[in-house]
Chain A
Amino acid sequence: MFRFLLWDKTIKENELYKLRNFSLSLISGILLNFTIVLIFHNLKTSLIIGSCISFVGYLFLIKNFEKNKTTDLLSEQFIFSSVGILIIMTIYFSPIMTVPIIGWDGRSIWFFHAKMIYFNGTFHIPRELNNPAYGFSHVDYPKLIPVMAAQINYLVGYWNEYLPKLSLWILYFPPTIYINSFSKRNISYIFLLVLLPLAFYPYLWNGFMDGLLALYVAIGLLLLIEYLENGQKNDLLSALSCIFLIMNIKNEGLLSAIALVMAFLIYQTMNKKLSFKKLDLIIHWRKLLFLFISISPVIIWIIYKNHLGLVNDLNLGSTKSFQMLISRLTDGSYKLILTSVYLQIKGMIYIIGLIGVVNLLLKNSIKKELLLSLITAIIISAGLILIYLFTPHDLNWHLNSSTERTMLVVNGCLIISGYTLLKHLEIDII
Chain B
Amino acid sequence: MKLSVNTKKVIIIFIFLIMLLILILSRNYLLFFLMVLFGLASIWWRKMLFTLLILLLIFSVYIYTPISKALEEAGVTTLSFVSHPKRPLRLIFTPNSGKEEVLSQPVLSVLSMMEKNNLTNFQLSTKLNIDDYINQRIIEGGYPVIYDMKSNFYFITIEELMNYKNCLILDSSETIYLVDCY
Contacts and interface: CB of A to CB of B under 8 A. Distances in A.
Interface residues of A, number: 65
Interface stretch (B16-24, B160-168, B172-180): B16-24
B112 to A, nearest CB: 16
Q: How large is the interface on B (under 10, 10 to 19, 20 to 34, 35 or more residues)?
A: 35 or more
Interface string B84-98: 000010011111111
A78 interface: no
Contacts of A133: 139, 147-149
A191 B11 CA distance: 24
Contact of B102 (A100, A136, A357): A100
Contacts of B26: 346
A100 B98 contact: yes
B8 A194 contact: no
Contacts of A137: 140
A231 interface: no
Interface in B27-60: 38, 42, 46, 49-50, 53-54, 56-57, 60
B94 to A, nearest CB: 6
Contact of B63 (A156, A347, A361): A347
Contacts of B18: 349, 353
A22 interface: no
A265 interface: no
Contact of A101 (B22, B98, B136): B98
B60 A365 contact: no
Given A95-B77, A199-B65, A350-B22, A162 B49 contact: no
Given A107-B102, A115-B143, A195-B61, A364 B53 contact: no
Interface in B79-137: 80-82, 88, 91-99, 101-102, 132, 136-137
A429 B70 contact: no
Contact of B97 (A92, A132, A162, A365): A162
Contacts of B78: 90-91, 93-95
A100 B101 CA distance: 8
A94 B81 contact: yes
A355 B56 CA distance: 10
A358 B16 CA distance: 10
B123 to A, nearest CB: 9
A347 B60 contact: yes
A199 B67 contact: yes
A100 B71 CA distance: 19
Given A195-B65, A201-B69, A356-B15, A346 B22 contact: yes
A356 B42 CA distance: 13
A361 B46 contact: yes
Interface of B: 1-3, 8, 11-12, 15-16, 18-19, 22-23, 25-26, 38, 42, 46, 49-50, 53-54, 56-57, 60-61, 63-67, 69-71, 73-74, 77-78, 80-82, 88, 91-99, 101-102, 132, 136-137, 139-140, 143-144, 146-149
13 contacts: A94-B81, A101-B98, A133-B147, A134-B139, A156-B93, A199-B67, A353-B16, A354-B56, A358-B50, A360-B12, A361-B42, A361-B49, A362-B50
Given A195-B65, A356-B15, 20 more contacts: A90-B78, A95-B73, A99-B77, A101-B98, A107-B137, A112-B140, A133-B147, A136-B136, A161-B97, A195-B61, A195-B67, A198-B67, A347-B60, A354-B19, A354-B38, A357-B16, A357-B19, A362-B49, A364-B8, A429-B50
